[in-house]
Amino acid sequence: MFPKDITPEIINSFSPNTLVSHLGITVTEIGVDCLKATMPINEDTRQYMGILHGGASVVLAETIGSIGSFLLIDRETQYTVGLEVNANHVGSASEGMANAKARIIHKGKKTHVWSIEISDDNNKLLSVCRLTMMIITK
């Protein structure tokens, strides 16, 4: 589904000096039907009670879904923008890594819809997210 010539290293090189790099988000795998990324749970991503901030989880979800859509479009004639994102935070973590796995659930001509699950290092589910991306002709 994804281009074979794109690697996580190439994708990770796109984001220096952005929110993505500030939060330590790293693409770790471009699979056959999914993308995976991690984000450290640390002083940059925790809220005042010492647990992963829900907003940081949403950034992780939107980042990995946006990358997925970027890989699926004709980058010469199209670009993508986030249209809507929502998240249900169902668990908490105070350390380790937040691990995101994104799968496309709708690949239309004008929109993509992604399902993203975020878990901790013990595979405990932290957030369930849905991202809608709009495909725009340049």
- 3-state SS class at 36: strand
Catalytic residue among 62, 76, 84, 95: 62
Contact 98, 28 (CB under 8 A): no
For β-strands 125-137 and 97-107, DSSP reports them as unpaired
User: Can 62 be counted among the known catalytic residues?
Assistant: yes
Residues near 17 by Cβ (< 8 Å), separated by ≥ 6?
none
**Structure-block tokens of residue 35:** 């993308």
Length of the chain: 138
Outline where the chain has alpha helix (H).
Answer: 8-12, 19-22, 54-72
Q: Which residues are catalytic?
A: 62
